[in-house]
Structure 1
Amino acid sequence: MNYSIKDVSEKFNISPYTLRYYEKEELLPNIHRTSNGTRVYSDVDLEWLQLICCMRATGMSISYIKDYVDLCRQGDDTISERREIIVKQKEIIENHIKEYTKLLRLVNKKLEHYDTLTKFNGKMLDT
């Protein structure tokens, strides 16, 4: 299936400017263009973009993502290097989850405190 820059922008909640930037930085390696220069994104492009968005969300720099994309372009000889990059990203995500779990516990503890105070004072808040 083919997608316009608007379609992709809406689907991933990123600006057309960001998509053009990713293409300029060669993170999206093979964006097809029509004869009049309009970008046309494929399902494969969307898979790449999904991975890029994931990596960005975990704090990976554009240059590091570009290194990963370059390794992918080099073929099977770089599988172990690419795997190591993904392993590092997995560790980053797991650390984020641990940190957010701690934050969630603190927020829940505070909510329990307020619920106890509310019940103690004989007032229940409408939610």
Structure 2
Amino acid sequence: MTISEVSKKFNISKDTLRYYERIGLIPHVGRNKSKIRDYREEDCNWIEFIKCMRNAGLPIDVLIDYVRLFMQGDDTIEARKNLLIEQRKYLIERIEVMKKTLERLDYKISVYEKIVVEKERSLRRDSLYIK
């Protein structure tokens, strides 16, 4: 696949794809005879993984470490697992903070909804007196 096709498929800019390649998040993207990037399924799997992890809030440097460890082979399986476990802990903490934020937003919205209902009641009462 070309960089344009991959960009569309994953909704990631071409610049971002080039950046990910440059910093080692997408290891060894091949080139065709014309020296144009030729993304294989394995490359797309890395992109999908990176996008998922970034959406979960994992920092770029953690992902770089993960890919570096992966490229070193099976001797790093435990280190990779521990890295992911640590990131999972951070994600759980973030989810809890977000749940509390959502509860706060829901509360604030309900307060505004009560205000609107009261205003409407007041307007109805006032309109009865105008007649």
- Could you say what the CA RMSD is over the residues aligned between the two structures, in angstroms? 1.7
Identical-residue share of aligned pairs (%): 35
Structure 1 unmatched ranges of 5 or more? none
| 8 Å CA contact retained: 2:24, 2:64 | yes
| 8 Å CA contact retained: 2:30, 2:37 | yes
**Aligned residue type for 1:65:** L
Corresponding residue to 2:24 among 7, 23, 26: 26
| TM norm structure 1 | 0.83
Match of 2:87 in 1: 89
**In 2, Cα distance between the equivalents of 1:27 and 1:65?**
7
- Of stretches 106-115 and 86-95 in structure 1, the one that deviates more from structure 2 is 86-95
| TM norm structure 2 | 0.81
Match of 1:60 in 2: 59
The CA deviation string for residues 58-108 of structure 1, in whole angstroms up to 9 with x for no partner, is: 14133x322211211121111110001111121222122111111111111
| 8 Å CA contact retained: 2:58, 2:87 | no
The CA deviation string for residues 21-65 of structure 1, in whole angstroms up to 9 with x for no partner, is: 211222111212101011111222122112222333414133x32
**Following TM superposition, where does structure 1 have runs of at least 4 consecutive aligned residues deviating by more than 6 angstroms?**
none
Match of 1:121 in 2: 119
Structure of larger gyration radius: 2
Corresponding residue to 2:2 among 1, 4, 7: 4
Three-state SS of the structure 2 residue aligned to 1:37 is: coil
* Corresponding pairs, count: 120
